[in-house]
Amino acid sequence: MTEKARGLQISCIDLFAGIGGIRKGFEQANSNGTTETVFVSEYDKYAATTYAANFSTPVNTIEGLNELLMPVDGAIIYGDLTKVPDEALRAIPKFDICLAGFPCQAFSLAGKRLGFDDDYKGMSRGTLFRELIRICEINKPKVVFCENVKGLLHHDGGKTLEVIRGAFDQIGYTMFYDVLSSSNFGVPQTRERLYMVVFKDELAPENFGFPKGESTSLRIKDILEENPVGSRYYLSEKYLNTLIEHKRRHKAKGNGFGYQVRSHDEYAGTLTCGGMGRERNLIEDSRPHSLVPTTGIHGPINSKNIRKMTPREWARLQGFKNSFVLPVADTHLYKQFGNTVTVNVVEAIACQILEYLDDLFKSKEMYELRKSRVLSLLDKEGPQTSSRIANELEWLFLSSYDEAEIKKTVRAALQSLKREGKIAVVGNTRAAVWEIKH
The candidate with the shortest Cα–Cα distance to 421, out of 405, 437, 406, is 437
H-run or E-run covering 329: none
Query: What residue spans in the chain does CATH classification 1.10.10.10 cover?
Result: 364-436
Mean pLDDT of 243-259: 81
Cβ burial, residue 215 (10 Å; 0-12/13-18/19+) = exposed
Q: Which of 12, 98, 104, 273 is catalytic?
A: 104
Which one has a higher pLDDT value, 102 or 391? Answer: 391
Residue 212 CB neighbours (<10 A)? 11
Residue 282 CB neighbours (<10 A)? 19
- Residue 301 DSSP class: B
pLDDT at 157: 83
Which one has a higher pLDDT value, 298 or 245? Answer: 245
Confidence of residue 1 (pLDDT cuts 50, 70, 90): very low
Which one has a higher pLDDT value, 179 or 153? Answer: 179
CB 70 within 8 A of CB 79: yes
pLDDT at 112: 46
List the CATH code of the domain at 364-436: 1.10.10.10
Residue 311 reports pLDDT greater than 60: yes
List the CATH code of the domain at 9-217+341-361: 3.40.50.150
| Least confident stretch, 101-105, 150-154, 224-228, 392-396 | 101-105
104 is catalytic: yes
Query: What residue spans in the chain does CATH classification 3.40.50.150 cover?
Result: 9-217+341-361
| Least confident stretch, 23-37, 272-286, 320-334, 351-365 | 272-286
Mean pLDDT of 372-386: 95
pLDDT, mean over the chain: 90
pLDDT at 152: 87
Residue-wise pLDDT for 26-45, tens only, equals: 999 999 999 999 999 999 99
